[in-house]
Amino acid sequence: MAIRNLRYENDEILKKHSREIEVIDDKIKELAEDMMETMHKWDGVGLAGVQVGVLKRIIVIDLYDEEKTQYTLINPVLVKQKGEQEVEEGCLSFPNQFGKVKRPKEVVVEALDINGKKITIKAKDLLAQALCHEIDHLNGIVFTEKVEPGTLETVNPDETKNQK
């Protein structure tokens, strides 16, 4: 496993559509492991392949909860959404930037797991938010495009350390 380099804000790759994964081979499994490790290194909740420079439809999510909810999803598709929530959102590709975004409160996502088995995830709240955020990445959409006007803020990490 290895930490992958993240792609940041002005990188054109973040605006590109990712391609479907046809075969889940050892290379894809290694990519998934690397993505999970990279996401954990930077304390992210989710990470899409495009964020590490790979234009393939793969995402990883970790809610860091008591159930140890982690997902590696291949070719995820949002099939249903319900309700709305306004949430504070950030992104590993936009370090220290946060803003309010409207996301569905509940979603249903179909995907393949890392072994190629078709799965359906019914999610709400944070998991629904993370799924939508990461699937947006696969479609070349970044959260700053969805931020409510006037709510995007850049936080200086040194200032937050001094407040603790």
pLDDT digits (tens, 9 = 90+) for 123-147: 999 999 999 999 999 999 999 999 9
**CATH superfamily name and code, 12-157:** Peptide deformylase (3.90.45.10)
Q: Report residue 107 CA to chain centroid gap.
A: 15
Q: Is 121 exposed, middle or buried (0-12, 13-18, 19+ CB in 10 A)?
A: middle
Domains of the chain by residue range: 12-157
> Is the pLDDT reported for residue 161 higher than 80?
no
Two tokens, residue 6: 């993240």
Which are the contacts of 140, defined by CB distance < 8 A and separation ≥ 6? 14, 15, 16, 17, 18, 50
pLDDT digits (tens, 9 = 90+) for 60-79: 999 988 888 899 999 999 99
In this structure, are residues 57 and 76 in contact, taking their beta carbons and an 8 Å threshold? yes
In 3D space, the residue among 79, 65, 139 whose CA is nearest the CA of residue 109 turns out to be 79
pLDDT > 70: percent of the chain: 96
pLDDT at 52: 98
Q: Which residues are catalytic?
A: 134
Average pLDDT, the chain: 94
In this structure, are residues 132 and 107 in contact, taking their beta carbons and an 8 Å threshold? yes
pLDDT at 156: 82
pLDDT digits (tens, 9 = 90+) for 24-37: 999 999 999 999 99
